[in-house]
Amino acid sequence: MSGDTIFREYRISDAERSDRSAGDRLRHRQKVRESIRENIADIIAEESIIGKNKDRVIKVPLRGIKEYRFVFGDNSPGASQGDGDSRPGQVVGKTGKDGPGKGDEAGDRPGVDYYETDVTLEELVEIMFEDLELPNLERRALREIQSDYSSRRKGYRKVGIRIRLDKRRTAKQRVMRMLASDKRNDAAARALEESKADREIGADADVEGALDEIALEEGALDGQPLDENALADSPGIAAFQRVRKRYPFHQNDLRYKHVEIDTKEESNAAVICIMDTSGSMDTMKKYLARSFFFLLYQFISTRYRNVEIVFIAHHTEASEVTEEEFFHKGESGGTFISSGYAKALEIIAARYHPSLWNLYAFHCSDGDNFDSDNPAALKDAEELAEICNLFGYGEIKPMGSRYYESSMLNVFRRIQAPNFHTVLIERKEDIWPSFKAFLAKDRVKEA
């Protein structure tokens, strides 16, 4: 028989100490984040993410977090146990999973390692904007507008302005002080009973008078008698005077109503998405535009409390539409870009006054505008740039097409406004870099 067996009792301190994986978990999470950040452009370019709501959990494929080893590939057969009547040809599982069930040794076959992680859209957006690395953007104060003003009573204070004096409380304080004072205790108690009725009525006038007195004789000591005649005609005090000398108010008796002022500061932003829905905008172009609008909306949402979004679709005429219609309804015909801008200006004038709203407008088009409309478009664009925090124009030209189609980029080059920015999007991969470039131009107008 070997030496004695040792039993070590469970101790709570052990359990606390045993969270020893904390450091390694932290490091792992850092790596996951790093990995997401490295692949952010690809992740954003994934169709599945665009247009999802905030709490939605997204599976993000990860690179670099998988632990690779030399393992056998698909042509290696395996063996396992059946339920009693396995026959050749029977299907027992799917490839890609580890064997029919799961293996004993984790990591000895590919596929057992999880290589996706779940993040919510919000987290992803957060990481995205970490990636922006635009510190000056972060530090800028939000433009806050005082949208609501209200005052409400909240407790009582010993100091305050005359108008908020609470006479009843002040009188009570005085009586309390009087009762507390030992010397006059008995007499005062008697007096109190006698004068109860008239004091209820008389206190207000009484205190008013006393206050004047205090104002005159600032600094009077506790219990020091004041000029008797001053208050002689007050009915409440008269009762006391019948018993003893008067017992005057003191600075410490005064009670003021306290009022708090609530201001609600709102930070409002409106994102105005303008898109060309003319016949030349195909699905791919719309998808690129949508990705851009999505990013813009997400970004604005992280920085303002109240964000509204407006969709304006235009061809030769513009109309405000729902999101669904905006992205899915195909229209045909030519393009007057100015119609979209005019509509935007109209909506802003009607609903989003620039002094109350931070306006972000973005326009996506393939640049195929009627030449005759260019001067009007230019004028309206300048006007929009004038009232918006940021106004952008994104020209979507899937690879190659930019060489034979007309472009608005040359026209808009004439706009001098510092918060106007044009981007050229040719592929999914361009979205993120051009978005970064776009935001770099953000400015907050002085209110």
Binding site for other proteins (CB under 8 A): 1-10, 14-15, 18-21, 23-31, 65-96, 99-105, 108-110, 114
CB of 10 to other proteins, least distance (A): 4
Cβ neighbours of residue 16 closer than 8 Å, sequence gap 6 or more: none
Here the tokens at position 406 are 């007309």
CB of 82 to other proteins, least distance (A): 4
Query: What span, in angstroms and rounded, lies between the C-alpha atoms of 418 and 435?
Result: 16
Nearer to other proteins, 6 or 399 (CB): 6
Contact 295, 50 (CB under 8 A): no
Burial string for 193-229 (b: 16+ CB within 10 Å, else e) reads: eebeeebeebbeebbeebbeebeeeeebeeeeebeee
Nearer to other proteins, 109 or 174 (CB): 109
Contact 275, 290 (CB under 8 A): no
Nearer to other proteins, 32 or 205 (CB): 32
Which segments of 284-438 are extended strands (E)?
Answer: 306-314, 318-321, 358-365, 390-396, 420-425
57 strand-pairing partners: 120
Query: What span, in angstroms and rounded, lies between the C-alpha atoms of 266 and 356?
Result: 9
Cβ neighbours of residue 79 closer than 8 Å, sequence gap 6 or more: none
CB of 68 to other proteins, least distance (A): 4
Q: Which DSSP helix (H) or strand (E) runs through 287?
A: helix 283-303
Q: Counting Cβ atoms within 10 Å, is residue 15 exposed (0-12), middle (13-18) or buried (19+)? A: exposed
CB atoms within 10 A of CB 441: 15
Nearer to other proteins, 15 or 163 (CB): 15
Give the CA diameter of the chain.
119
Nearer to other proteins, 33 or 177 (CB): 33
At 134, is the secondary structure helix, strand, or coil? coil
Nearer to other proteins, 2 or 53 (CB): 2
CB of 108 to other proteins, least distance (A): 4
CB of 47 to other proteins, least distance (A): 24
Nearer to other proteins, 112 or 187 (CB): 112
Nearer to other proteins, 38 or 383 (CB): 38
CB of 25 to other proteins, least distance (A): 4
